[in-house]
Amino acid sequence: MKTKLITFLTSLLCFNVYATECDQFFPNGKEIVIPGTTALCNSFFVVLFDTKHEAPMVSAEITQPKDQRANRTNDFHGDSRLKNDSPLPSDYDNSGFDRGHMTPAADASTPKQMSETFLMTNMTPQAPKLNRVAWRLMEEKVRGMDSKYIVTGAIYKYPAKTIGKHNVPVPVSYYKVVYLKDGKKVAFNATNLNEADVTEISFEHLQEMLEYKLPN
C-alpha cells in the first residue's frame, strides 16, 4: 500500500510540473481549456492538439527576443509524444495544401526552438497563397509589435475535408491574437482560401466565433 501511495504521489507531482511548464506559455498563465485536446509543451510554445481528429486547435507562445532569430531548417517531422500515430509530412504530398505553421518558424530564437516549430502537430493544411502571402505578411507585422504572448488558432467545421493517410482535417479559417505588453490585444482572422485577405477584428467579435474562451 505504501509503495502504491508513493507511486501515486509521484505521478501527481510529475503531472503538476508538466502543467506548470505548459501554463507559462498561455497569456498571463491563464490556461486555454478545449475539451478533447492534449497539451503538447515545447520550448517556447504549447499546442492544444485534438487527437481524435489529428488536428492542432490552438498554439500559445511567449514572444522571443527580436534580436535572436534561428536559421530556418525545414525539418518537418512527426511528433513521437502522441500515443497514436502522429501526422506526417507525407500526408501533405500532392494535397494542394501547404504545411502551414501555427506558431511560426520565424518566431524561434534557438535551433531547438526552430526544430520544434516543424513538428507536424504544429501544422495545418493551409491554402498555399494564404500561407505564403497574406498570412506571412501579417506574421511579419506581428513580429514588429511590442507583444508578450501570441495565440494562434485553427477553426474547423466537421465533417471536414481531410488529406493524407492520417486524415488530417483542413481548417475553414484561422485567427491570431497578439497580447501586447501594455495589456491591449490585437486580433486577426482569415478564411482558409488562396484569395482570402487577413483582416483585423475585435477581440470580442473573435470570441463570439469560438466555442471556448481565450484569456482576457
- Annotated active-site positions, please? 101
CA 173/CA 137 separation, integer angstroms: 17
Residues 6+ apart with CB under 8 A from 145: 178, 180, 186
- Of the candidates 147, 156, 136, 157, the one whose C-alpha atom is nearest the C-alpha of residue 177 is 147
| DSSP-based helix, strand, coil % in the chain, nearest 5 | 30, 30, 40
* CA distances, 59 to each of 4, 67, 173, 216 (Å): 36, 22, 15, 16
The residue type of 176 is: K
